[in-house]
Amino acid sequence: MDMLQTNVQTEITTAAQADIAVSVSNVSKNYGDVEALRDLSLEFPRGQLTSLLGPSGCGKTTLLKIIAGLLDPTSGDVLVDGKAVTGPGPDRAFVFQDFALLPWASVMRNVAFGLELRGVAKSEREAIAEKYIANVGLSGFEKSYPHELSGGMRQRVGLARALSVDADVLLMDEPFSAVDEQTRRKFQEDLLSLVANENKTFIFVTHSIEEAVYVSDQIAILLPRPSRVSDIIRPTGLREKDMLTIRRDPEYLDIVDEIWASLRSYVE
């Protein structure tokens, strides 16, 4: 069992090295006197979900926005598909913690908004949006406005908007933190199928250890400011298992414990 697992792990590691979608090297970020990130390096394998896990204020959002091109790093480089990031690009799409929906626009217009900004013609973008609205289970709500939806439904709109531009990399900043526990579990399951079915690279920010272990191929543990990667954990064995029984799996519980053990000394 152990042997097998190590084998799988090495295999994936070599494959990952060959195919890195996003690579962050020696990135530092200062906000005035506040040093948010210091000399942080991390690689994100293509087609996998990498979680950024760490206590509040350790710079997870900052790192995600730097990858998105929304913030400039003070020093260091971000490469997406080997090309240096200089700003937002069509290869990346962002899912926001607070959904960032336009309150004056219908679900349809919100989902199609990314395409609208990219100059796709109206009929075409609505056809694409229609498909993703159905994918996230919101058929029939096309004409509704965000204030008529529950928190979970709003985040589905945010997700559909990010999916509809068909970017290779999905950047998700605590997307499930504003929804209730049941919806959150459903979202986590949906996310697992999404990672399995779409050939996209997911970068997922969370501060929940359980959530990170449940959904990730790779977990990068960030330590408090100035933040750097303290550890990378690959719960590889879990990905082959049935998503309904993962939470009872001894390996799952071990990894959760291990992460907590390494983080607890940093939480006062």
Partner 1 sequence: MLNRSLLLKFLSAFIVFGAWEIAGHIPVSYAFPTFIESMKALAEMTFDGRLYAAYVETLKPLAIGIAISAVVGITVGLWTGLNNWFDWLFSPIFIVMQAAPLAALIPLLVMVYGIGLTSKVFVVCIMAMPVIVLNTAGAVRNTPSSLIEMGKSFQASRLEVVTKIIIPAASPVIFSGLRLGISAGFIGAILSELKITPTGVGDIITFSRSIADYASMYAAIFSIIVLAVLFLNLLEKIENYLFEGNVRGYASD
Residue 207 interacts with which of Mg ion, partner 1, ligand ATP, none, CB < 5 to 8 Å by class: ligand ATP
CB-wise, 113 or 252, nearer to partner 1? 113
Site for partner 1 in 60-89 (CB under 8 A): 65, 68-70, 87-89
Q: Which residues of 154-171 are buried (b: 16+ CB within 10 A; e: fewer)?
A: bbbbbbbbbbbbebbbbb
Residue 36 interacts with which of Mg ion, partner 1, ligand ATP, none, CB < 5 to 8 Å by class: ligand ATP
CB-wise, 64 or 213, nearer to partner 1? 64
Q: Please name which of 81, 85, 69, 22 lies closest in space to residue 49, comparing C-alpha atoms.
A: 22
Please write down the long-range contacts of 30-39, taking CB distance under 8 Å and 24 or more positions apart.
Answer: 30/74, 34/225, 35/225, 35/226, 36/62, 36/225, 36/226, 36/227, 37/62, 37/63, 37/66, 37/73, 37/226, 37/227, 37/228, 38/226, 38/227, 38/228, 39/76, 39/228
Binding site for ligand ATP (CB under 6 A): 31, 34, 36, 56-62, 207, 225
Q: In whole angstroms, how close is the CB of 22 to partner 1 at the nearest point?
A: 15
Q: In the stretch 139-178, what mask flags binding to partner 1 with x, by CB under 8 A?
A: ------xxx-----------------x-------------
Q: In whole angstroms, how close is the CB of 145 to ligand ATP at the nearest point?
A: 27
Kindly indicate which of the ranges 23-31, 116-124, 174-182, 204-212 contains the residues binding partner 1, using the contact rule CB under 8 A. 116-124
Q: In whole angstroms, how close is the CB of 78 to partner 1 at the nearest point?
A: 14
| Cβ neighbour number for residue 144 with a 10 Å cutoff | 16
Q: In whole angstroms, how close is the CB of 35 to ligand ATP at the nearest point?
A: 9
Binding site for Mg ion (CB under 5 A): 61
Query: Does 106 engage in binding with partner 1 (CB under 8 A)?
Result: yes
CB-wise, 117 or 253, nearer to partner 1? 117
CB-wise, 35 or 130, nearer to ligand ATP? 35
Strands 75-80 and 83-84: antiparallel
CA–CA distance, 237 with 180 (Å, rounded to integer): 28
Query: Does 105 engage in binding with partner 1 (CB under 8 A)?
Result: yes
Can you give the binding site for partner 1, defined by CB under 8 A? 65, 68-70, 87-90, 92-94, 96, 98, 100, 102-106, 113-114, 116-118, 145-147, 165
